[in-house]
């Protein structure tokens, strides 16, 4: 091979090597691989940028009440997804998104088998969203209350009225407050047929001057945000906590 040809080949290989290295560095930089290399070599600090859902949770935690006697579990999703309150608190959450009265009936055995001291029922929003007739909704609710009385007769039951909605959101609920008011009226009448069962209507703590769910209390016109839950914390506190200092009868 002539000297000139060898020189051109060497130059071409050098240029190709440079381009390959530049491309690799660019790829690593864009993919985060370069940061991982520097991090592993302890040349940079792990960035403290927060994702939107992390910011939302931080804002939620800041609004929730703190007490000197509280016990905190702190960490990542392994902590966030843990059922700590179920393990160590008397208040257990048995809510399932999208559930209906008939859905609760299907899983009621798991709830009543422990013979809970108290039971708070808030169910019906998804029945209204699915256009379930009030007659069917109340029929299922009657069965629900009858089964609770039969399966756990000592349980103190509180029925919460269906919460109001706000129709000003872009993806507004499929039912309005006129339907909520009428269904709650009939639900209250049903509860009155069961001695000892309490009907608790928290509407006045959640609505604006027009009778709609306050816009700043909701994320979509139907679900509550943390401010909405804080608005009903005090009126719920008495019914939830009364008698907790007494041991349940065996």
Q: What's the rounded Cα separation, in Å, for the pair 163 and 125?
A: 8
> Are 109 and 228 in the same domain?
yes
**Look-up of token digits 């001695």:** 195
Query: Is residue 54, in this structure, part of any structural domain at all?
Result: no
> Are 98 and 204 in the same domain?
yes
Q: What's the rounded Cα separation, in Å, for the pair 43 and 227?
A: 43
Query: Is residue 107, in this structure, part of any structural domain at all?
Result: yes
Query: Is residue 157, in this structure, part of any structural domain at all?
Result: yes
Q: What's the rounded Cα separation, in Å, for the pair 157 and 239?
A: 10
> Are 132 and 223 in the same domain?
yes
> Are 102 and 225 in the same domain?
yes
Number of domains in the chain: 2
Enumerate residues 6+ apart whose C-beta is below 8 A from 183: 124, 128, 134, 137, 162
CATH code (residue 149) = 3.40.50.1110
> Are 102 and 36 in the same domain?
no
Tokens representing 175?
């039912």
Q: Among 62-71, 88-97, 209-218, name the one with the lowest average pLDDT.
A: 62-71
Partners of 157 in the beta sheet? Answer: 119
The domain in which residue 228 lies consists of 92-241
Q: With contact defined as beta carbons under 8 Å apart, do 201 and 235 qualify?
A: no
Q: Which of 16, 32, 197 is closest to 118 using CA atoms?
A: 197
Q: What is the mean pLDDT of the chain?
A: 87
Between helix 177-191 and helix 134-151 the angle, nearest 10°, is 40
> Are 17 and 109 in the same domain?
no
> Are 120 and 196 in the same domain?
yes
In angstroms, how far is the first alpha carbon of the chain from the final one?
Answer: 99
**Look-up of token digits 């579990």:** 73
Q: What's the rounded Cα separation, in Å, for the pair 166 and 116?
A: 34
Q: Which of 134, 122, 133 is closest to 223 using CA atoms?
A: 122
Q: With contact defined as beta carbons under 8 Å apart, do 134 and 183 qualify?
A: yes
Q: With contact defined as beta carbons under 8 Å apart, do 226 and 63 qualify?
A: yes
Note the pLDDT tens digit of each residue in 95-152. Answer: 999 999 999 999 999 999 999 999 999 999 999 999 999 999 999 999 999 999 999 9
- Check residue 11 and give its pLDDT: 62
Note the pLDDT tens digit of each residue in 147-162. Answer: 999 999 999 999 999 9
- Residue 21, pLDDT > 70, answer no
Q: What's the rounded Cα separation, in Å, for the pair 121 and 145?
A: 10
């Amino acid at each position: 091979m002539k000297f000139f040809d060898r020189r051109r080949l060497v130059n071409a290989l050098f240029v190709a090597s440079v381009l390959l290295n530049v491309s690799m560095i660019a790829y690593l930089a864009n993919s985060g691989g370069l940061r991982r290399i520097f991090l592993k070599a302890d040349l940079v600090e792990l960035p403290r940028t927060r994702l939107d859902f992390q910011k939302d949770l931080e804002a939620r935690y800041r609004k929730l009440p703190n007490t000197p006697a509280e016990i905190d579990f702190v960490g990542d999703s392994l902590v966030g997804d843990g059922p700590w309150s179920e393990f160590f608190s008397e208040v257990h959450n048995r809510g399932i998104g999208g559930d209906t009265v008939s859905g609760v009936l299907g899983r009621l055995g798991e709830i009543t088998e422990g013979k809970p001291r108290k039971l708070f029922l808030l169910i019906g929003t998804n029945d209204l969203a699915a256009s379930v007739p009030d007659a069917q909704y109340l029929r299922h609710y009657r069965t629900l209350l009858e089964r609770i009385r039969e399966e756990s007769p000592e349980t103190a039951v509180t029925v919460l009225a269906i919460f109001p909605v706000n129709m000003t959101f872009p993806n507004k609920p499929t039912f309005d407050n006129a339907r909520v008011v009428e269904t709650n009226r009939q639900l209250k009448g049903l509860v009155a047929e069961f001695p000892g069962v309490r009907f608790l209507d928290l509407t006045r703590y959640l609505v604006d001057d027009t009778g709609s769910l306050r816009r700043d209390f909701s994320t979509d016109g139907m679900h509550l945000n943390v401010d909405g839950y804080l608005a009903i914390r005090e009126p719920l506190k008495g019914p939830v906590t009364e008698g907790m200092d007494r041991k349940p009868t065996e």
